[in-house]
């Protein structure tokens, strides 16, 4: 992890995970709620590389990181294990609506195993390559061990999902694992090899042989190896039973009997009712989607591919994961997530074009690593750092993936195993039975076309380097090898940009603000304004580079490359968006004077929040000076800051 060392030091010096009762983040800082503030070693934390300062305010222990705080926060949550701690909530926001709840559940179940899932899939893909080229014999001991390494997780997948699903539903994870183990127990699987006692539902599409009974009740045995839906449903049922028994059983015998009763009731119900029904539903869903793909694979490829990065942004791609996993288990292949696998390579082409074409040094520094990450399957740096803020580039990526989806539809491509993405996705399309077939050829051509279309359309049409400006002013050396800066008409240093006031009110020097992150200019030089109306306007032409979900702070990059942070009030993040309304969204192009945010000034005052609004230049270090206005009162459009280079 990029910020692992920093997060390890922060975790240690805030008093360890046991001292943390709450954690969130705003646009620049980690906001801890600590059991005991005195345990935090503030002086040590302030001196950590990557930490700007520490602020203790509003009952929170705030560690100011800067604009990359979301990445630090995410890695901290993983490192500390806070996501998996039972009984603790680290976000006040709960998913609303059936779709959002479903996506939240699926993401919570699959996220902990997604990396090892991809690793196991890559091993299976490597084996497919080695056997397709006759490098490795399927009868060899080497193949046997490597196949067990790659296939073991998929065979016993119900055990892994039993753990993660139980954790997500608030149950005991080892109960979930025990249920998963019962589903794939060898003796149960072997029972299906005998002669059936009789058949149920004879003459219907769900006609089922009966090999065993439970207390005289017929049991429809299914193959649950690699299955997804039955164990998730079982874990949910078990968690509800566990909660019930925990309430009604006396504390003295609870530790033993809760697990005993939960297992002895859940497992038979799963075998008799839950397993067959969920398996039939999953099989039907997979066949319906496959039939839709067979009806018009080209249209399906265009639609799924064209919208795939939108699915990723909203987390909707998680909804496809259990369907795809079920398809692998029941059909032996998947067509649902197939078109989306061209997205990383399309994004790599788009990002590479921007890297080669831009004149902005900072964007180049971001774009090239993002290109490499996308090429190897990690799209977030390219999506959120490069393409999303440049709409034409974003749309070009979708177009390129849609073209790739159409090509895969023409070849009737299928993906046979779960595994890597980007260039590492190629082995996933090797047919385990016949080797290289139309699926491999189709994806190879489609991914190559996605990369080329993304690159060429972006380079020739979709990206204008002027929108990001040039952040390096060229200077010439004189005969004495001294560097002379460009001069203006008065013989002084060139004025690069003038920043207009985004709010109407009275100016205040930053050093008079109580918040040390602003008063000590740790986030950049600038000025503060005490607003007299609840509106924030665009201080220059540019792009919205950051908009915090609570709408109390906004980051802007002007067309000249000046980075501006506008933060309405102090600690207003605690209001969770109450009294704030954004008129723009992240990635929007804005013009000077455009209304960006509205807020209820009187309500903030009545809630005892300080409304002083700092306006700082985040990339102050790139300039010789930032000069604030001498005016005591400013209106919208008045110059408040002058940037000198």
Q: Which of 25, 26, 317, 497 is catalytic?
A: 26
Question: Does the annotation mark 567 as catalytic?
Answer: yes
Total Cβ atoms within 10 A of residue 548:
20
Phi, psi of 48 (to 5 degrees): -70, 135
Position 170 pLDDT exceeds 60:
yes
The residue with greater pLDDT, 236 or 560, is 236
CATH code 3.30.1360.60 region(s) in the chain = 4-92
Looking at residue 90, its pLDDT comes to 47
CATH code 2.70.70.10 region(s) in the chain = 495-644
Buried b (16+ CB within 10 A) or exposed e, 425-461: bbbbbbbeeeeebebbebbbbbbebbbebbbbbbbee
Looking at residue 492, its pLDDT comes to 44
Percentage of residues of the chain with pLDDT beyond 90: 29
Position 94 pLDDT exceeds 60:
no
Highest mean pLDDT among 103-117, 505-519, 534-548: 534-548
Element (H, E) at 592: none
Looking at residue 477, its pLDDT comes to 38
Phi, psi of 433 (to 5 degrees): -90, -45
CA 211 to chain centre: 45
Total Cβ atoms within 10 A of residue 598:
16
Class of domain 4-92 (CATH, top level): alpha beta
The arithmetic mean of pLDDT across residues 4-29, rounded, is 84
Residues 583-640 have pLDDT tens digits of: 998 888 899 999 999 999 988 988 888 899 999 998 888 887 888 888 889 998 899 9
Looking at residue 448, its pLDDT comes to 95
Position 423 pLDDT exceeds 50:
yes
> What are the structure tokens assigned to 87, written together?
């009984």
Choose among 457, 448, 345, 341: nearest CA to 393: 457
Position 478 pLDDT exceeds 50:
no
The Cα 430–Cα 426 span in angstroms is 8
Question: Does the annotation mark 497 as catalytic?
Answer: no
Are residues 393 and 382 in contact, defined by beta-carbon separation less than 8 angstroms? Answer: no
The three state secondary structure string of 268-326 is HHHHHHHHHHHHHHHHHHHHHHHHHHHHCHHHHHHHHHHHHHHHHHCCHHHHHHHHHHH
Residues 266-303 have pLDDT tens digits of: 999 999 998 888 777 766 765 676 677 777 888 888 88
Are residues 639 and 499 in contact, defined by beta-carbon separation less than 8 angstroms? Answer: yes
| Average model confidence (pLDDT) across the chain | 82
The whole-model pTM stands at 0.50
The Cα 35–Cα 39 span in angstroms is 9
Looking at residue 30, its pLDDT comes to 86
**For the ranges 149-153, 414-418, 512-516, which has the lowest average pLDDT?**
512-516
Q: Which of 25, 497, 552, 567 is catalytic?
A: 567
CATH hierarchy code of domain 495-644:
2.70.70.10
The Cα 408–Cα 336 span in angstroms is 12
CA dihedral 560, 561, 567, 573 (to 10 degrees): 140
Model confidence at 314, pLDDT cuts 50, 70, 90, reads: low
Position 323 pLDDT exceeds 90:
no
Element (H, E) at 212: strand 212-214
Element (H, E) at 142: helix 141-155
Residues 345-393 have pLDDT tens digits of: 999 999 999 999 988 877 887 788 878 878 887 776 677 668 877 888 9
């Amino acid at each position: 992890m990029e910020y692992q060392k920093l997060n390890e030091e922060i975790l240690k010096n805030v008093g360890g995970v046991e001292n943390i009762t709450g954690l969130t983040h705003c646009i620049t800082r980690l906001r801890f709620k600590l059991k005991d503030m005195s345990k935090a070693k503030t002086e040590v934390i302030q001196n950590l590389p990557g930490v700007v300062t520490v602020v203790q305010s509003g009952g929170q222990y705030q560690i100011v990181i800067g604009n990359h705080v979301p990445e630090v926060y995410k890695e901290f949550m993983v490192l500390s294990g806070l996501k998996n701690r039972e009984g603790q909530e680290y976000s006040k926001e709960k998913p609303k609506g059936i779709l959002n709840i479903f996506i939240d559940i699926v993401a919570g179940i699959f996220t902990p195993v997604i990396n090892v899932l991809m690793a196991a899939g890559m091993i299976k893909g490597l084996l497919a390559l080695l056997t397709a080229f006759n490098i490795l014999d399927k009868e060899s001991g080497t193949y046997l061990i490597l196949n067990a390494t790659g296939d073991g997780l998929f065979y016993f997948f119900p055990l892994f999902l039993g753990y993660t699903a139980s954790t997500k539903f608030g149950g005991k994870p080892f109960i979930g694992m025990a249920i998963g183990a019962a589903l794939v127990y060898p003796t149960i699987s072997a029972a299906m090899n005998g002669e059936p006692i009789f058949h149920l539902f004879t003459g219907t599409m769900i006609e089922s042989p009966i090999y065993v009974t439970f207390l005289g009740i017929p049991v429809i045995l299914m193959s649950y190896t690699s299955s997804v839906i039955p164990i998730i449903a079982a874990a949910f049922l078990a968690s509800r039973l566990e909660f019930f028994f925990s309430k009604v059983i006396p504390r003295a015998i609870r530790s033993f009997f809760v697990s005993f009763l939960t297992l002895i009731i859940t497992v038979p119900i799963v075998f008799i009712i839950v397993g067959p029904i969920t398996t039939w539903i999953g099989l039907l869903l997979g066949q319906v989607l496959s039939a839709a793909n067979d009806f018009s694979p080209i249209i399906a490829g265009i639609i799924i591919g064209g919208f795939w990065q939108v699915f990723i942004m909203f987390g909707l791609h998680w909804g496809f994961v259990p369907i795809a996993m079920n398809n692998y288990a029941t059909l032996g292949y998947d067509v649902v997530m197939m078109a989306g696998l061209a997205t990383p390579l399309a994004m790599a082409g788009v990002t590479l074009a921007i890297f080669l074409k831009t004149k902005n040094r900072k964007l180049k520094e971001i774009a090239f690593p993002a290109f490499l990450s996308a090429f190897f399957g990690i799209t977030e740096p390219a999506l959120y750092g490069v393409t999303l803020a440049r709409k034409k580039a974003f749309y070009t990526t979708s177009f390129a993936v849609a073209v790739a989806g159409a090509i895969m539809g023409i070849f009737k491509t299928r993906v046979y195993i779960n595994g890597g993405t980007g260039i590492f996705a190629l082995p996933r399309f090797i047919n385990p039975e016949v080797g290289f077939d139309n699926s491999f050829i189709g994806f190879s051509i489609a991914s190559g076309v996605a990369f080329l279309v993304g690159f060429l359309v972006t380079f020739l049409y979709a990206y204008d380097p002027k929108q990001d400006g040039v952040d390096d002013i060229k200077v010439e050396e004189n005969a004495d090898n001294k560097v002379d800066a460009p001069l203006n008409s008065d013989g002084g240093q060139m004025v690069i940009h003038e920043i207009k006031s985004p709010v109407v009110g009275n100016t205040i020097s930053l050093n008079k603000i109580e918040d040390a992150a602003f008063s000590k200019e740790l986030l950049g030089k600038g000025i503060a304004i005490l607003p007299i109306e609840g509106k924030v306007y665009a201080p220059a032409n540019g792009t919205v580079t950051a908009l915090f979900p609570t709408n109390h702070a906004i980051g802007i990059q002007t067309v000249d490359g000046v980075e501006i942070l506008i933060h309405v009030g102090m600690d207003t993040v605690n209001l969770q968006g109450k009294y704030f309304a954004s008129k723009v969204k992240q990635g929007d192009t804005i013009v000077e004077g455009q209304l960006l945010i509205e807020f209820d000034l009187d309500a903030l005052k009545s809630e005892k929040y300080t409304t002083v609004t700092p306006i700082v230049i985040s990339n102050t270090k790139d300039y010789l000076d930032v000069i604030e206005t001498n005016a005591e009162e400013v209106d919208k459009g008045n110059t408040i800051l002058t940037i000198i280079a």
